[in-house]
Each structure stands twice: as C-alpha cells, then as structure tokens.
Amino acid sequence: MKTAEIAQRYLNYFEQNDHTIVPSASLVSDDPTVMFTIAGMVPFVPYLTGVVPAPFPRAADVQKCIRTNDIEEVGKTARHGTFFQMLGNWSFGDYFKEGAITYAWDLLTKSEADGGLGFAERDIWVTVYETDDEAAALWQKIAGLPAERIQRMGKEDNYWHTGQPGPGGPCSEIYIDRGPAYGKDGGPIVDDNRFTEIWNLVFMQDLLSDVRSKVDFDIAGFLPNKNIDTGMGLERVAMFKQGVENMYETDQVRPVLDRAEQISGRTYGASHEDDVRFRVIADHVRSSLMLLSDGVRPSNEGRGYILRRLMRRTVRSMRLLGVDAPTFPELFSASRDAMKSAYPVIEQDWDQISTAANAEEATFLRTLAQGSTILDLAVEDTKKQGSTALAGSEAFLLHDTYGFPIDLTLEIAEEAGLSVDRDAFDSLMQEQRSRAKADAKSRKRQLADVSVYGDLRALGETEFLGYNDLETESRVLGLLVDGQAATSASEGQVVEIVLAETTLYAESGGQVADKGTIVGPGFVLDVLDVQRPVPGLISHTVEVRQGRVAVGDTATTVVDAANRRAARQAHSATHLVHAALRDTLGKTATQSGSLNRAGYLRFDFSWGQALSAETRTEIEEIANRAVQESLEVTTRVMSLDEAKEAGAMALFGEKYGSVVRMVDIGGPWSRELCAGTHVSTSAEIGLINLVGEASVGASNRRIEALVGQDAFRELAAERAIVSQLTSSLKTPREQLPDRIAELAAQLKAAEKRIAQFEAKERAGQVPALAETATRVGSHQFVGQSVGEVGSADDVRELALAVRERLGSDAAVVAVAGVAAGRPMVVIATNDAARAAGAKAGALAKIAAGVLGGGGGGRDDVAQGGGADASALPAAFSAIEAELRRA
C-alpha cells in the first residue's frame, strides 16, 4: 500500500465519521518564536487551549512536520527522520476517550477491502498512563484486548505535553508487534524495537503552567474543554504496509536512495557506513525539498540555517560515497517525482525549488574547495610547528565560518598524518550551542503571553474598518499591562489595548503597522504598534499620553493620514515592481519577501544573478509607465479557489485562508492575493525610484526603491550633486562621466608615483635602522619607531628589509609606526633567532600588551597594536627584557 493511499484512506475514514478534513499547515510555524511545525498538534494549539473558538467540533488532517533535534541520528535508526507526516484526528469538546479508542481500533483492524488498514488484532498492543483505569477498561471493552496486552507506563512515556506551558494530558499509545526476529516478547515495556509505536491518542484535559522537564511540571487546572489530539506516523504505517525495514525504504523516500546508488556506483546493503550515508541523503533531500516548497531558503540563520545544514550534509554524504560532482539536479528530481502526487505544489513551483537547491549545492562545492585550501595551510603550519594535532580552534573556525564539516576536516587531517584536538573543538561547539539555546529560550513566549487573549478572542473577531475609513468609534474590550489583564491604565504606561473595531492596520503581508492615536473621554493614546497575536484578534500597543483609559470606555481610532497615504503608495508600488520584474525577467522572478513602509519598499525575488543597469532601468520604466497610465486599483473578496481560477498570484511560501482578498492593478496585469492597503489608481503613487539592487542569498536578489515624495526628494538631491559637480569641474553634465574617469585615472597615476617615492624613501631608512642594532643576549636587536606611516604594510616592509640587512646572525627586528594616531609594531626574526628561542608572535603579544592592545602572528613575522603611542619605548624595553630571559 503506497504512502499516499494510506493517507487518503485515513482521511476518507474520518470524513465518513463526520470530521472536517483540514489541509496541512505550512512547515513554517506561525509562531515567530518557533522555527518549524514540529508536531501535528501545533496548528491546533489555539483551539485546544480555547484561546480561539474551534471552527469545527472534530477534524482530521495529514500534517507536514520537521524535527531537527535528532539530526545526528538520521540514517542510524529505522525511525529517525527529519521530515515526517502525522495523521491526526481531533475533537474539540466533542468525543473523548471512548470515541478516540473506538475510531483508532476500527480503522486499524478493518480490512483493506473495506477501507481500513488491515492490521491483525493479535499484533496490536497498547499502553496507558499508570493511573488511567478508564482508558484501560475502554480498551478491554471496545477492542477486547486481554489485560496483558494493555500495559501501564508513567509520565516519561504516557503523559504528553509540548515541553512548554500549555495543553497536556495522559495518553494511550498503540504498538505493532513486528515478531520474534526483532526482539524479546513481553510488549513495549520490554522491547520498543520489536513493539513499534504507530499511534498516540492524547486525552488532552490539563493546562500546564510550569514545565521543568518531561516528568516535572505543574498543572494549573483543566482546559475549557476535554479535547482529543491523536498522531499516527504516516511513514511508520507505510513501513508495515510495505514490508520494509525502515522509513528510508518506503515509496516516498526510497527513490532518492536508489538514485544515489546509481550516481555513486555503490550498493545499498553492502556496508553499514555507506548505508547510513544513503539514508542520510534520502532523508535530507526530501526534507530540504519540502522546506523549499514552503518558501524556506538557505541562509546562515534561523530556518535557512537548518535547511542549509541539511543540504550540506547531503553533499558531504555524497562525497563520502565518492561523488564530488553536483548531484542535486538528479536527487531532487527523484524526490519531486516521489512526493508530487501528495503535494502538487512541488511540481507547480519546481523551477523556483530546483533553482534554489542547485545554487546552494554550487555554493557549497565552492566552499569545500575554499575550505580545503585553508585547511591545507593549517595542516602545513601545524607540521612546521612540530605538532601532531590540528588545533580545535582551527577546526571550529572552518566549521563555523566556512561551513566546512568536521568529519571532512578529520579525514583530510588523517590523510596528512595528523589528528584533530576534538576535545577543544567539541568544547567550542558546546559553547556555541549553549549560547544559541540561551538565546532561543530568552525569545520563547510563555503560554500566558497568548492565553491572556483567550477571553478577549471569545468575544469575537476584531473588525478591521481601515480599508474605507481612517477613523471609527469603538469600545475598549480589554487591556493588558505587562502581559496580564488589567482594568485600566494611566498616563505614562505602555499597554496593549483590544477594541471591538479598528481602522489601524496590523502589521502583515510585508506592510508595517499604521501610526496614529486612540482617543476617548479624558484620554489620548499614542499607537506604537499594531499586531495580530492570535487569529482574528487585533492588539494595539500604546503609550498613554494623557488621562486614564479603562475597559468599557468608548474609544476612537485615528489613523495618521499622511503616513497611511505614503504606506499605500509603497504597497501598491511593490505590486507594480513585481509585475515589471516578471515582464522583464520572466515568470520565475517571483516575490520571496517584502517590506513596505511610508515612502519605501524592499522587494526580494527569486533570481540567481545581478541585474544589469539596463535591466534595472527597464524595470523602473515599466513600473513608472504603469503609474503614468493611472491604472484602476480594485479589490475583491472571494474563495481561494476562485482567486486562483482568476489568475491571482499566490506568493510562494505564503499561507492563505479559504477566503482571500484579491488586488488588481490594471486588471490582470497585476493580480495578487493581498490584505494590505492600496491606492485607488496607480497615478496616486506619484513616482518610483529604484535606489538599490543586491544579493540576499544564492538565488535571491533584493530591490529597494523610494516612492512618492521620498522618491522625488532623492532625485532632487542627486540633481543638486550633479549641479555641484558641473560647477566645480567646469564640465557640462553630459561630459561628467568622462571627466570623472579622467580625473580618477590621473589620481591613480599620482598615487602610484607617490608610492614609488615613499618606497624609495623607506629603502633609504634601512641602513640607518640597521646601524642602531644592539646586542641583547645572543641576539642582534633593533627597536625603533619611524613616526607617522600610511599603513601597517609600510612598517612590515621596513622590518623585513632591516632583518635581511642584518645577515645570518640571530636577529630580532621591532619597527613601530603610528597610523591615524594608533601605534603598531611589526616584529621580524630570522632563522638563527628562532632557533635560539625568539618567536615573533610571542614578542608581538608582549609589545601589544604594553601598548594597550593585542597582537600575534607567525614565528617569523608578527604584528601588534594598541592605543597609547607614548608607550612605544616601554614596548621595546619589554621585548629586550624577554630576549634577555631567553
């Protein structure tokens, strides 16, 4: 039975049992403090907690999930996968334990011919929470399971929560006995390899206030409703129904593994090490594909970093299989063909997905080449120093800065006859993880931050009236002070305020929040921010400028009209720039991010190379021609399917509800789904001035533009600069480029002549500096300052020249200079001096310490600096003292 068929059987069964079928949410979590959707219940948290009323009493879904905490275990076990799919059925205050157990048993044991999954009753075992007598009794009553196949476990196994304050409850897990070949008899309590969990029924009834660990938490009380949250691993069910040993061999994953076999020429099943690599490739390619399909792009932070890590681990694994050439075009195509029937969007957006994947692979292959060069130099230096171990700091630098895998560093070092100081490397990695963990923890919202909106949301959705009006009278429904409900707020306090209606736009879709005020009898509130903390609710962060505001007060929202006008201009201009880009570059140049605020727009789009000046001009001309033509801007609210049929662009990676707002500018020329505020005609935009274009990733570019009056002011400033240049250079405007190029060439030639004169002058200083050499211990020593210099290179050149002039006897040369008021010293030692124990790097650190700075370098030449030029004589004395001790 194919994986897609299992999923469809599941949905069909629950649809026949009066469940609303809900499409999968994006892998990108709506919660800004959580990177990914890590469990099937994540999209339903607002309903499970009662913060948002559930739109249906019962539901079922197939939810895409990503977990990366076990990434190092991927490929090593049968069960660890980065991307996986959870089959779930949900009840929000409808059925509870009896219903959940009945549905699960019926679907699992019903024959395949009757639409079930056809598992043998004799192979099914269950566990329940240690004190849950009710669940144990229901399993006996409904399924007829004997008592010995109903096992009790504690909180570690049979109490479920998210690890954060929020919903939780006892659970009952369903296991399949894989048979004697897989381990000992006795049920999951004895061997959870032979007895493999496939379905977890969570009886969600508790509200947890403080979670200290998996088994240590406080229960604040009961949830408003007793809910059911179940999760059945689709890949695990597919393992059993397809008779394979692990999830990597199921029909949606195995094709990538097979393609890696063909490319590498190696055989899956012939070697444990290679098998792990094949499974890593299969998992990571599919996981990367699914993240790319939800709009994530490789980067060095957040979600993009996780994606980049998955993709680079894939490249590394292919390299270990003996393949150095690009493989993503073939591997990702294999995964696309395996997944597209379940997720058609993959094929629809294939051009963008494949472009991003192939560009990342090309970038990393270049990184590997660069990292190999850096590592070769580090290996050479290590050998020169007589060491047999590459410093852990060098390995960490390669890993952290260049993305160079540690196992590749180990491999190359071993080939060179060196080990790597893994203890130091692991320590640095742990420090980094600790910093990242502390940062993530500091950004996590406590449940109270969201749950406080529950009572407010229960009063209904906040009505946004700002499309047509800038002011509206409303009523204060609630106040939050420091995240806690309050009845009033006084002058000087910063609070959140929730109203029944508002004209103030909440930040979304790239458009920043409105500016404005909220006024009422005896109070004035300055609006600092407007957000949607939970679906359907708009919250205003305000500072009480005057008076006192209380729950129940009448309040009028007043939008800053000038700011809103400029923001509307910028947002509509963004749509014009998008359409102009697609006209110029083709349909693959689609939006991947944007920011609109008064007078300014920033637009990210999928494209792999810089735009020429001519292309930028063409885009700007097309967009401004649309402004000049005064195109009508219309908006319509309709179903998502109707909008797509009308040709509206649904932006890649964006999430939309079943009802959407479609914005047309000039009819179908620009037709996008958008909830932002817009002008009535394109002429109101005034002017669009593209001021920048740059790379923001391997396959993404960013355009920045000024709009309206801001665009005019920028052009006026440029005109003033041109006017000043024409006057100063006494050159007509059209001849300015040639004249400036001519002056630049003259300046470059003059700088070259000056450099030659300065080099000649420095060369003349060498004999005099060498003559100052004195005997310090067994060394000749020169310690001199040459005063003001242009750069450290000038000082280095002098120090090396003096060292050569002193001949083969042990010599240490310290030459100092001052650049921009800051002293620097370069120390050079010859072979004889180093043999006698004088190391330039160590001496540079000593000198720099006296100067109030830092320094170091190689044994033959090193540099230090500081802030106190008057300390140079003391720095030379410190070097002399060290030489005498040597």
- The annotation places the binding site at 571, 575, 674, 678
Among 144, 69, 86, 636, residue whose Cα is nearest residue 309: 69
State how far the Cα of 441 lies from the Cα of 186, in Å rounded to an integer.
40
Which parts are annotated binding residues for Zn(2+)? 571, 575, 674, 678
The residues facing 788 across adjacent strands are 818
**CA distances, 815 to each of 347, 759, 864 (Å):** 65, 16, 11
Q: How many other CB atoms are found less than 10 A from the CB of residue 278? A: 27
d(CA 124, CA 137): 16
- CA 877 – CA 879 distance, rounded (Å): 5
Structure tokens at 132: 């849950």
CA distance 99 to 504: 45
Residue 798 and residue 775: Cα distance in Å, rounded? Answer: 20
Element (DSSP H or E) covering residue 304: helix 302-320
CA–CA separation, 535 and 462 (whole Å): 10
Half-sphere exposure of 207 (CA within 13 A, CB side): 18
Structure tokens at 250: 């199921």
- Of the CA atoms within 13 Å of residue 189, those in its CB half-sphere come to 15
Q: What is the CA radius of gyration of the chain?
A: 34
Q: Can you count the helices (H) and strands (E) in the chain? A: 26, 34
Q: How many CA atoms lie within 13 A of 512 on its CB side?
A: 20
- CB count within 10 Å of CB 586 equals 11
Residue with tokens 């005020």: 517
Q: Which of 588, 726, 734, 740 lies closest to 649 in space, CA to CA?
A: 588
Nearest to 738 by CA among 721, 726, 750: 726
Closest of 91, 115, 162 to residue 13, by C-alpha: 115
Task: Give the DSSP letter string of 37-69.
Answer: --STTGGGHHHHTTSS--SSSEEEEEEEEE--T
By the 8 A CB rule, do 44 and 155 touch? Answer: no
582 by Cβ neighbours in 10 Å (0-12 / 13-18 / 19+) ranks as buried
Q: What's 205-224 look like in SS3? A: EEEEEEECCCCCEEEEEEEE
Contact 330, 263 (CB under 8 A): yes
What is the token pair recorded at 134?
């009710």
Angle at 631 between CA 626 and CA 636, to 5 degrees: 125
> How far apart are the C-alpha atoms of 122 and 103, rounded to whole Å?
18
Cα–Cα nearest to 416, from 379, 384, 389, 386: 379
Dihedral angle, C-alpha 22, 24, 29, 35, nearest 10 °: 150
The residue whose two tokens read 């749950």 is 451
Q: What residues does 125 pair with on adjacent strands?
A: 175
The residue behind tokens 């040639």 is: 738
Side-chain-side CA neighbours of 798 within 13 Å: the count stands at 32
Of 552, 473, 555, 477, the C-alpha closest to 519 is 555
CA distance 515 to 677: 14
